[in-house]
Amino acid sequence: MNKLKNRVTLLNTISTLFLQIVLVLNGFIIPKLILDAFGSDVNGLVSSLTQFLGYIALVEGGITGVIMAKLYKPLTDHDDEKVSAILASAKRFYRRISYIFIVYAIILGVVYPIIFNTGFDFVYILSLTLILSIVNIIQYMFSITYRTLLNADKKIYVVSFTQAFIRIAEIALAVLAIKVYPDIHFLKFLTGVVFVLQPIVYVWYVKKHYKIDRNVKADNALIKGRWDGFAINTAAFIHNSTDIAVLTIFTNLATVSVYSVYSLITMGIKNVINALTSSLNPTLGHAYARNDFKDLKHKLDMYEYIIFMLVFFIFGVAILLITPFVMFYTEGLTDADYYQPLFGVLIIIAEALYLLKFPHLNLAYSADKFKEISKPAFVEAGLNIVISVVLVPFLGIVGVAIGTIVAMLYRMVFHVYYTSRIVPRWRQWFFYRKLLIFLFATMVGIALCLLIPYSDNTIISWIWHAILYSVIIGILLVGVSLVFFRDELKFFKKYLKRK
């Protein structure tokens, strides 16, 4: 049984990593096609509209996290009746969201060109808004209920492989659209329709492998924590959306395009790290459901160590190479100033802080502590918005990055504290000891790398420096691991052997 569980965990990790690699490629290729074919203003408009359409996540109110937390125990107990009731309640809730979203998309398409002076006419923006909403409509109306079930039941590989192949198809269709009929509306419509494959696969798999009673009545009491999840969802949404919204209001679409290009790198890195660690989230939930705190501590310590290694290694190298990559990526574009080295460093720091709290955030989710962690989520969201709005008129794109850093730092400190309330005899200094050791090693590595400065703006030079910087920082991080984290390395070695 343990071998089977370990194989599933490994398959989940591999499939999620494969998905994130595809998403990274998708995230770089499609915006590059748009930039080259239509320019920075169109790319900025697409990014801005996509973020505003994402506001529908606020209506969702964090229901997905609540549903997953509620599903862990009935799935562990094989309680098909309760699983069916939770899914029925979730499906009804998501359907309502989809109807609200359709109305919201129409209102956004009408209001956006009136409020913002973008240089694009009313019909152009309205039609593009409605086309961009296709993916969200498909997700909330047909996909998300069964996707949540599969994730909660450790069937992440089904979701990941399905999404990966759809994203590959999206890239192919985008290239085809540029060649056949280079119009942004046609491109987005063609790449949006392909997402209809998602619910088809999920419905087929669930029908084949689960005993879901589709006639059971919905019971909203089973997901009563959905409003507590609202704050959590709001904070996550604001982290991902505030900056572009603020820049749209206070700057211009060219600046939004600059931000979105830098975000491609940070989002790509964040997604890869999530892919490498996402399979640990359900294991925390199941360990907590069993009240096995010894096993929970081991998994949390392992999760935390892996996050530290990945974040400080990848983001340490990224601090040195993000701006050179952006300059190479946008070579030949003169309609916006993409050389923003300070912003590049700050956005890397912000995303690193966001990821460092993940083991503790996901533990709180798994423990169904949505109500207890809702207030700090609102505080984080408020800090992000207020500081960004205050600073952006003076510092521009740098101001929004500072707002994000302050908010992320506050939330990280809180979740480290709250873990000590969930897990008996767990101490906060465990986390901060790791943080200081990894931070010191990474800073030494960056200082050494700066002795070998990046000069030529070519892909060969960038790859060479990426390899060199990775070796330097990697050796230092492995070195401190051998000195300070031998227990973690032994546990990791045993964990791999069991697989």
Instruction: Name the nearest CA neighbour of 268 among 14, 17, 12.
Output: 17
pLDDT at 165: 94
d(CA 406, CA 397): 15
* pLDDT digits 0-9 by tens, 226-268: 555 555 666 666 656 678 888 888 888 888 889 988 988 888 8
| DSSP string for residues in 88-110 | HHHHHHHHHHHHHHHHHHHHHHH
| DSSP string for residues in 29-74 | HHHHHHHHHH-HHHHHHHHHHHHHHTTHHHHHTTHHHHHHHHHHHH
* 278 vs 195: which has the higher pLDDT: 195
d(CA 295, CA 288): 9
Measured N-to-C along each axis, helices 253-277 and 228-250 cross at an angle, to the nearest 10 degrees, of 150
**How much is the average pLDDT of 428-452?**
91
The CA-based angle 433-362-27, given to 5 degrees, is 100
Asked if residue 45 has pLDDT above 50, the reply is yes
* CA-based torsion, 5, 7, 8, 12: positive or negative: positive
69 Cβ contact list (under 8 Å, min separation 6): 225, 285, 365, 366, 367, 368, 370
* pLDDT digits 0-9 by tens, 335-394: 788 899 999 999 999 999 989 988 888 788 777 676 777 788 888 888 988 999 999 988
Instruction: With H, G, I as helix, E, B as strand and everything else as coil, classify residue 486.
Output: helix
**How much is the average pLDDT of 453-471?**
84
Asked if residue 318 has pLDDT above 50, the reply is yes
* 422 vs 262: which has the higher pLDDT: 262
What is this structure's pTM?
0.72
8 Å CB contact between 134 and 193? yes
| Residue 91, number of CB atoms within 10 A of its CB | 17
d(CA 350, CA 113): 31
Tokens of 448: 């050494």
Amino acid found at 404 = T
Domain segments of the chain as ranges:
1-226, 252-499
* pLDDT digits 0-9 by tens, 378-391: 888 889 889 999 99
* CA-based torsion, 361, 14, 310, 488: positive or negative: positive
pLDDT at 146: 87
d(CA 78, CA 70): 13
**How much is the average pLDDT of 387-403?**
91
Tokens of 430: 């465990």
pLDDT at 221: 63
8 Å CB contact between 378 and 234? yes
8 Å CB contact between 40 and 257? yes
Instruction: Name the nearest CA neighbour of 240 among 408, 2, 92, 102.
Output: 408
